Structure 1
């Protein structure tokens, strides 16, 4: 081999090696840039997912608070309803006592019951010791009410 040809081959091979190294370096740079873009995209997706998780967590907390408020309101309303029922029972008992204490009310209550059972004027007058006009008035009032119902 001639010395000039050998040096030319080495020089050419060196240039080719440098060129290949440059191409490899360029490919590595392109690959690094691509990986960085993918990495940034993944970070962005993860950040968006975290934002969504936070938003969902906030919504869950808000709904939980609303449920707790509704339950508290229901308890208060239940207690209030129970108090009203107790008051109604007390008023019914008081009314019953008043009716039992007033003799005339007892007579009219008895007469009303007899009218509802279909008793005659004479039966009502005798059982309740009422004048005929009052017995007739009770019959006409209660029978009119029964027809309207």
Structure 2
């Protein structure tokens, strides 16, 4: 989802850049109209070029607006998903606290982090030796 947002932002930047270059070229064509008449281009050719540039400019503006709307929609979806993830995280934490076994494991993990030895964890948490060794080895590596 994040890469979509980045890609759309990149497209918007490109479209805006193209929009400004077209505006600049259109602006530069209008003041130089008299000078251009002295060269090989006729007034009708310049007018036609201006009309084409304005049409392209209008197209690009509508494209930028469409991309901008899509970016806003994606941001809204991302915000909703982040809220959903927060709710699920809160529910998961609540469930972990209500399960008695999780309290025992949490206590055992805390004891390992505080430096308790294996026998003390087995005795205090009333865990089987294999589970206590597993917890001890896993959380001792993190510390």
Give the structure-1-normalised TM-score. Answer: 0.61
Shift of 1:143: 4.2
CA distance in 2 between partners of 1:77 and 1:117 (Å): 45
CA distance in 2 between partners of 1:49 and 1:114 (Å): 82
Runs of 5+ consecutive residues of structure 2 not aligned to the other structure: 1-36
Runs of 5+ consecutive residues of structure 1 not aligned to the other structure: 1-40
Residues 1:49 and 2:46 aligned together: yes
Aligned residues: 105
Q: Which has the greater radius of gyration?
A: 1
Shift of 1:141: 3.3
Q: How does 1:1-149 map to 2 (within 5 A)?
A: 45-143=42-140, 146=142
Give the structure-2-normalised TM-score. Answer: 0.63
Shift of 1:118: 3.5
CA distance in 1 between partners of 2:48 and 2:110 (Å): 75
SS in 2 for 1:137: helix
SS in 1 for 2:59: helix
Shift of 1:81: 0.4
The alignment yields a C-alpha RMSD, in angstroms, of: 2.3
